[in-house]
């Protein structure tokens, strides 16, 4: 692992992916209070709905959705569960942030408290398992993918959308950090928040990780990473408006079409399938 001027992060010289030494502290009330949950929801809802629809459409090309059993890991506000249920999917979530899980359950969605795969029985099987902006927060990403390979039904689909180390925004933030401007870089890593990013993977590294656990990758494609609608709220999830945040908003608003181009997007979607189990 190559080290540089930011001590808590390093880059793999072999695969080009990044790994942090940040510690998740989801149970910390003090850190949770740093987040304006209303601003987070207002800032993310529209782009998440847009991407959720595309993800479900792509999963549906690989496995029939109607009546399928789907597990959404890190289900948060339950937006993906809601979109899946609208397609007659039997969807349930897993969420370690207990207050958020309780709110989602109060809206009629099925959510298990705790961490994946600890709260899943060994003999359960799912037609689809999804990680929507979640795998980057998991310290043991390889272990999570291995668990998915065991829990997927034959032909079942693993869907992972994750921030990409090849995205233009992350590359610009990295360049700025190299010259001492750390603000954007820390924001990409969610530094100082309850659930920081543990990984920024290269798409090919993610592909190899999934294939290493016996899954067959069907596609690796970019998703939209930013949307002008809701951008102001998204920028102020963890800070109050200021002249600097206003400048950041203006720059991102202008750059949004560029940042969403396939080669520049900071979000990548991987879909893979579980081959049929061989009888012994």
Question: Could you tell me the CATH number of the domain that includes residue 220?
Answer: 3.40.50.150
Predicted confidence (pLDDT) per residue in 17-73, tens digit: 999 999 888 766 665 666 667 666 777 778 889 999 999 999 999 999 999 999 999
pLDDT at 122: 93
1 found inside a domain: no
pLDDT at 263: 85
Using only C-alpha atoms, the chain has a radius of gyration, in whole angstroms, of 18
Rounded Cα distance between 129 and 125, Å, is 10
154 found inside a domain: yes
Residue 106 pLDDT exceeds 90: yes
pLDDT at 200: 95
Rounded Cα distance between 22 and 200, Å, is 13
5 found inside a domain: no
Rounded Cα distance between 243 and 250, Å, is 11
Q: What is the pTM of this model?
A: 0.91
Least confident of 32-36, 63-67, 87-91, 183-187: 32-36
| Contact of 201 with 191, CB cutoff 8 Å | no
The DSSP result for 138-168, as a single string, is -S-HHHHHHHHHHHEEEEEEEEEEEEBTTSH
Domain total for the chain? 1
Q: How far is CA 166 from CA 84, 103, 222, 251, in A?
A: 29, 35, 11, 20
Residue 164 pLDDT exceeds 90: yes
Neighbouring C-beta atoms of residue 39, cutoff 10 Å? 18
Residue 194 pLDDT exceeds 70: yes
133 found inside a domain: yes
Mean pLDDT of the chain: 90
Bridge partners (DSSP) of residue 71 are: 92, 129
- In terms of residue numbers, what domain contains 252? 16-273
pLDDT at 18: 94
260 found inside a domain: yes
Neighbouring C-beta atoms of residue 68, cutoff 10 Å? 21
232-241 long-range Cβ contacts below 8 angstroms, 24+ apart = 232/43, 233/39, 233/40, 233/42, 233/43, 234/39, 234/40, 234/42, 234/43, 234/44, 235/43, 236/36, 236/39, 236/43, 237/35, 237/36, 237/39, 237/40, 237/43, 238/34, 238/35, 238/36, 238/193
Residue 238 pLDDT exceeds 60: yes
Mean pLDDT of 261-266: 88
216 found inside a domain: yes
The DSSP result for 12-37, as a single string, is -TTT--EEE-----TT-HHHHTTS-H
Mean pLDDT of 162-170: 94
Which two structure tokens, joined as six digits, stand for 175?
């360049």
Residue 133 pLDDT exceeds 80: yes
Task: Name the band, by pLDDT with cuts 50, 70 and 90, for residue 172.
Answer: very high
Mean pLDDT of 81-88: 97
278 found inside a domain: no
280 found inside a domain: no
């Amino acid at each position: 692992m190559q080290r540089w001027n930011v001590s808590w992060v390093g880059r793999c010289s072999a695969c080009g992916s990044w790994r942090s030494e940040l510690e998740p502290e989801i149970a910390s009330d003090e850190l949770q209070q740093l987040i304006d949950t209303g601003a987070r929801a207002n800032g993310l809802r529209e782009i998440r709905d847009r991407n959720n629809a595309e993800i479900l459409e792509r999963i549906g090309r690989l496995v029939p959705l109607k009546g399928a059993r789907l597990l959404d890991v890190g289900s948060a506000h339950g937006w993906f569960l809601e979109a899946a249920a609208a397609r007659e999917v039997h969807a349930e979530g897993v969420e370690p942030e207990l207050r958020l899980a309780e709110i989602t359950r109060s809206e009629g969605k099925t959510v298990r408290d705790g961490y994946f795969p600890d709260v899943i029985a060994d003999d359960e099987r799912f037609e689809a398992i999804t990680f929507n902006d979640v795998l980057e927060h998991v310290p043991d990403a390889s272990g999570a993918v291995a668990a998915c390979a065991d829990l997927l039904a034959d032909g079942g689909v693993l869907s992972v959308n994750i921030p990409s180390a090849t995205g233009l925004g992350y590359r610009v933030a990295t360049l700025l950090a190299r010259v001492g401007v750390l603000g954007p870089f820390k924001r990409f890593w969610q530094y100082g928040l309850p659930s920081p990013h543990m990984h920024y993977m290269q798409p090919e590294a993610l592909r190899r990780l999934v294939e290493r656990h016996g899954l067959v990758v069907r596609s690796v494609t970019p998703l939209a990473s930013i949307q002008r609608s809701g951008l102001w709220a998204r920028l102020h999830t963890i800070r109050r408006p200021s002249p600097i945040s206003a400048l950041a908003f203006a720059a991102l608003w202008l750059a949004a079409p560029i940042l969403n181009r396939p080669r520049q997007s900071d979000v990548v979607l991987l879909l893979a399938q579980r081959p049929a189990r061989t009888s012994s």
